[in-house]
């Protein structure tokens, strides 16, 4: 487990509430570790966990970024038809980006820069299950909906299941487990919320 992914002392954090390790590469003993936000993005393959939109390292973040076949989101977007002619006639919510790409269209999504969201809203809580690599749009959507402390007795979405399992292990069992352990015990841990 990455030793940087832990609960930090809020009194030793920056004025922003984040630990210094959030933005900066750092050493633990003699071992160098990536800044937490970069490590989380890299762990998720530089993609939004929820919609699959890619983050292209080295591409200056901006308003528009290219989609690929793993993008499952809807617009807003700019498109280029298979014949190379720019098009704005594709309805925003009628298709997912991957459907357009598979049909030969070029697709660029608006405001899908990759961020790292603290699911419980606590900036110094950098445990792996609390950090989700989400594009801006998914981040804002999840931020309004997810309350980790709220009992949720229904089926979670696939991307969220490991996060919920890690949270339940901590909240119900007092166990600090790795993502791998959460995946191995997924059914057991997710069932904790349904019986609580």
Torsions phi, psi for 66 (to 5 deg): -70, 145
C-alpha dihedral over 135, 136, 140, 141, to 10 degrees?
Answer: -40
Around Cβ 83, how many Cβ atoms within 10 Å?
A: 7
pLDDT tens for 92-138 read 566 788 988 988 888 999 889 999 999 999 999 999 999 999 999 99
Q: How far apart are CA 148 and CA 125, in angstroms?
A: 13
- 13 has a pLDDT exceeding 90: yes
pLDDT at 139: 96
CA-wise closest residue to 111 among 160, 75, 58: 75
What pLDDT is attached to residue 196? 45
């Amino acid at each position: 487990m990455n030793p940087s992914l832990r609960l930090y002392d809020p009194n030793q954090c920056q004025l922003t509430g984040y630990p210094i390790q959030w933005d900066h590469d750092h050493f633990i003993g003699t071992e160098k570790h990536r800044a937490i936000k970069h490590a989380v993005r890299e762990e998720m393959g530089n993609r939004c966990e929820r919609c699959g939109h890619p983050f292209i390292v080295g591409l200056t973040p901006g308003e528009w970024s290219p989609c690929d076949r793993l993008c499952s989101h809807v617009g807003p977007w700019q498109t280029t038809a298979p014949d190379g002619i720019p098009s704005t006639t594709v309805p925003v919510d009628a298709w997912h980006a991957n459907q357009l790409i598979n049909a030969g269209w070029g697709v660029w999504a608006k405001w899908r820069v990759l961020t790292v969201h603290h699911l419980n809203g606590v900036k110094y809580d950098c445990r792996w299950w609390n950090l989700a690599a989400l594009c801006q749009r998914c981040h804002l959507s999840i931020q309004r909906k997810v309350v980790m402390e709220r009992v949720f007795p229904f089926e979670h979405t696939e991307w969220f299941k490991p996060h919920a399992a890690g949270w339940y292990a901590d909240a119900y069992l007092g166990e600090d487990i790795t993502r791998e352990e959460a995946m191995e015990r997924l059914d057991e841990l997710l069932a904790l919320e349904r019986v609580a």
